[in-house]
Each structure stands twice: as C-alpha cells, then as structure tokens.
Structure 1
C-alpha cells in the first residue's frame, strides 16, 4: 500500500506506486554530470535573465554573436558545431539577430551563407561580453590561476571524451543492420 501523508490521497489501483526512495540511485552530491549541469544551468539562467532584461536577447543569441566575433564568416552549421547546440537553436538566433541587423548573411562560394557581425553587432558584443564574463568571475573568484588552468584542462578532456563516445555511438548506429 502506498505511503502518504494525511493530505496525500492516492487513487484506487495505485498500490504499486513508488513512495520510498530507491536504494540503487546516484549520489546527487557527488555525481559529476549533475554538478556540472547544475552549475551550467545556474550560470545560464543568470546570464539569460540579464541579457533579456538589458538587451532583449537571450543566451543563445549571445552565443551566436560571440561565435561570430571569434570566427567571422562562419556558416550556421559551423556556429552550431562551435557552440554545441541544436541547429534549430542557431537558426532561430540567426533569424532574430538578422532582423535586428546585428548580423548579416552574405552569398558565399558554392551556395554557402557566411555570417558576419554588423557594426551594431560588434557594439552589441562589446556590451554583452561583461554579462557573460561576470559568471566566470563569480565561479573562479579566489581560485589560483594554476587551478583554473587545471580545471579548464579537465573540462576540455571531459568534453573530448563525450564527443568521442557520441561519435562511436553514431558509427555503431550507422553500422547496425536495418530491421526487415
């Protein structure tokens, strides 16, 4: 019989509901992917809230602007790969940023569409940059530069491992026999 408080009323036939924690679960205080996700979510929420409030743009828009500041002339596909998000996310941001005349798409070779920041986009980048770097300042405050370098090396190694695992899984799926 499911346990509950006096105010919890379970419907008839719910005798098999889980009402106690399972024993074979992750340790939420020491599960590294969870901790990384919590940190990322907190930083993204802070940044997104401030970017929307101040500029009417979100974190994904900032990521595209930042990517084009680093890699002028990148295509939407190249931006997608660089920032590691879904192509639809970049497409939506490109539409928003082009409508606000912060980026422009030009006709490139073989039908490509290189993206460039406009002068207004460069100014927007410079205004948005401190919002983004503030999150880094918060989490790295008081850390020794050598520890920051070691942390960044560990994070890049983790990212590489996930990319390799994803590529391996994709290759296995491509090689799997097609069901008849």
Structure 2
C-alpha cells in the first residue's frame, strides 16, 4: 500500500485494519518532540559532566526541592521509580547527592545535592534556561502563556483519564 494512500491497510484475506496516522497522533508527536528537546539539552550536561537525562532530572528537582525521597522525585518527574533509584545510586556514588534520614524518622531517607552536585546544578541550570529561551524565542508572550496553559490542561486531562481508565 502506498503510505500516502488514505485507504485502510489490509492484511491477508483482505481484512481491513485500523489506520493510525502517527504524524497526527498527539501522544506520538509529544513523545517525539520531548525526545528531541531532551536529547538536544542533554548534550550540555552529558559531554561536560557525564550525566544522563535521568540523572540531570533528579539533580534539577533536588536543586529546586531539597530533602525529597526518591519516590517523591519519581513522582515530580513522572519517571519510573526504578530508573530514579538507579540514577540516585549513581549520583550518590559520584558524590553529587547526599542521602540523609528525615529528622526523627530514621526509616525515611531524603536526598539533597552535595556541594559538588550544586556546582554542577549551578553550571547546567543557566544553560538549560538559555536553551528554553532559544526554543521559545519564536513565540510572543501570549503564545508562550497559551502553550503552557495548554500543556497544564493536557496534563490535568490525562491524569483524569488515567484515573477513570480502570
């Protein structure tokens, strides 16, 4: 079948199949865009500090919100708990994160950037902000505001849909 053809794909015996046009499928487009943007900014912290996307996201969250548990970091980043746990272990081993107990609750550990971690954070964060500014420079203030409102709305709707799915 010609990929530009609008007819549904057919399989053996001529059975019609559903037609999913990825170029118009929002989850696919968001994923591709997210991967492209993440990969572009990752070059800054990967080449200079040997950090992957997951490690940087953990550091970025803890730079803004110190003393979170690994589970709270996973929740704020919407990343898999296992991936966050592995990133935390690598960052602790590299001396970029500290793991402490939470006040009087010896069962709960919290994470915070070490001095070395803050040095990296303080160097990468301005690059990340400059990258974002370049990414959005073609939008006027109203378009930027609309974009973020729409993203917030999609996030809100997705969470509702996820809760109702089962």
Which bracket does the TM-score occupy, shorter chain normalised?
Answer: 0.7 to 0.9
TM-score by length of 1: 0.76
Alignment of 1:100 with 2:74, yes or no, is: no
In 1, are the aligned partners of 2:44 and 2:124 still within 8 Å (CA)?
no
Q: Give aligned pairs, total.
A: 154
* Residue of structure 2 in register with 1:29 after alignment: 23
Compute the displacement of 1:168 (Å).
2.4
Pair 1:142 & 2:135 matched: no
Q: 1:166 to 1:130 in 2, by over 3 A?
A: same
* Higher CA-based Rg: 1
Aligned to 1:45: 39
SS in 2 for 1:107: strand
1:62 aligns with 2:51: no
TM value normalised by structure 2: 0.82
Q: Contact between 2:97 and 2:111, CA under 8 Å: does it hold in 1?
A: yes
Runs ≥4 in structure 1, deviation > 6 angstroms? none
| Aligned residue among 49, 72, 85 for 2:79 | 85
Stretches of structure 1 lacking an aligned partner (at least 5 in a row): 3-14, 173-180
Bigger shift: residues 91-100 or 106-115? 106-115
* 1:111-132 CA-partner distances (Å, limit 9, x unpaired): 1101111111111101122343
In structure 1, the partner of 2:70 is 76
Higher share in strand: 2
Structure 2 counterpart of 1:116: 112
Question: Structure 1 residues 17, 34: closer, same or farther in 2, change over 3 A?
Answer: farther
**Is 2:126 the counterpart of 1:130?**
yes
